[in-house]
Amino acid sequence: MSLTLMIVAVVAVTAWVYLVAFHGGFWLAFRFEDLPPPASEGPWPRIVAVVPARDEAAGIARCVTSILQQPYPGSLSMILIDDQSSDGTADLAARAAAAIGASDRLTVLRGQPLPSGWTGKLWAVKQGLDLAAQSHPDCVLLTDADIVYSGNAVTQLATRMRNDNLVMASVMAQLRCESFAEKFLIPAFVFFFGMLYPFAWVRRSDRATAAAAGGCILARFDALKRAGGIESIRGALIDDCALGARLKTTGPVWLGFTHDVKSIRASDEISDVGRMISRSAYAQLRYSLLLLLGMVIAMTVIFLSPMGLIFAADPLTRTLAAGSWVLMALAFQPTLRYYGQSPLWGVALPLISLAYMVFTLNSAYQYLRGRGGMWKGRAQANVSAS
């Protein structure tokens, strides 16, 4: 038994040494605005922001205002697709634009009923892109209705795209982190996302790793068409990463962090964050029970075993377990600093990972009972197979 525990401890510490030293520096969180700005050359691209919105009355005014007030030196307009909202989202958006004298740059499109084979968000985006095509934009800004912009985020994205000849520049929106549930779970969400898709690897053309952050994606319109259009991922539940993968086949992409793009969606209870994670966690595992089992084993060995083996009788096993726990806590620190949270949350990462494991198991359970990908009244998991 002691030999088995030691083997587990060796596997765990080896995994953490690899992750920290050789996994694309996934645990680092360089802010977009902290990077040297690329030089500005040539004309500014014409940008149309495409924003799907379904029952977003709580924050849509802030979203609309923040985008249309961006100090972008080129043409920037916005199409909001009201995805059959019942809370007055469309009217609130129109009033917000009028209040800042930007009604001429906002188009509110009433969304059509959801057809088979599409997720709700992507169907709304498809309608917005079809309308945007009529104005022949250079780029489209795909962003969510709970996202607000500050600083000169759009200008920085456009400049980086133009000067680095990118087909996509995307930044991870800073998620709200105020309630206990958010402090407990949100930084880890970003940490785990980076572990799955190391940003440095996403940016490298010699790496197959591809992803995007759905809250803020600036894409060249011609590249999006060459990639097959949004219809090529019509049933994707993790649509941002699917789109990033499609766009990377057409040219270089960039993914980073910023404080200038924030999500204002509140998650005051652990169950709120849990629903967000459960919506797509099983899709990340390609709806495979075998991959689900592998995930449980991997999470148990890499994240949970150090917490238990710290009490093992064998001193070497305890030392290895302590080393793993220290490495994971240290690796979590840049993300915690980025979110302004106490470094002590790093010590709690095993417990946080346990919560994520439970959410993922719930994601599989909801899928098997026909409620996978539930979001705003729609079960959307694997809709392309329906």
Residues 47 and 45: their CA atoms lie apart, in Å, by 6
Instruction: Kindly indicate the confidence band of residue 33, based on its pLDDT and cuts at 50, 70 and 90.
Output: low
Question: pLDDT tens digits, residue range 66-83?
Answer: 999 999 999 999 999 999
CB 321 within 8 A of CB 305: yes
Across the chain, mean pLDDT equals 93
Region of 3 please: left (phi>0), alpha (psi -120 to 50) or beta: alpha
pLDDT, tens only, 300-354: 999 999 999 999 999 999 999 999 999 999 999 999 999 999 999 999 999 999 9
Please give the residue that has the higher pLDDT: either 233 or 163.
233
Examine the pLDDT at 56 and tell me if it is beyond 60.
Answer: yes
Question: What pLDDT does residue 41 have?
Answer: 67
Q: What is the pLDDT of residue 371?
A: 83
Where residue 214 falls among pLDDT bands split at 50, 70, 90? confident
At residue 317, the pLDDT reads: 96
Q: What is the structure's pLDDT at 386? A: 45
What's residue 372's pLDDT? 73
For residue 373, pLDDT beyond 80 = no
167: pLDDT strictly greater than 50: yes
Say how far apart CA 111 and CA 105 lie, in whole Å: 19
CA pair distance 213, 309, nearest whole angstrom: 36
- The residue assigned the tokens 């607000």 is 148
CA 186 to chain centre: 11
For residue 141, pLDDT beyond 50: yes
Q: What is the pLDDT, as a whole number, of residue 293?
A: 98
d(CA 158, CA 46): 10
For residues 126 and 243, give the distance between their C-alpha atoms in angstroms, rounded to a whole number: 13
Q: Quote the CA–CA distance of 386 and 379 in Å, as a whole number.
A: 11
Residue 384: per-residue pLDDT: 58
pLDDT in tens, 81-134: 999 999 999 999 999 999 999 999 999 999 999 999 999 999 999 999 999 999
Report residue 289 CA to chain centroid gap.
24
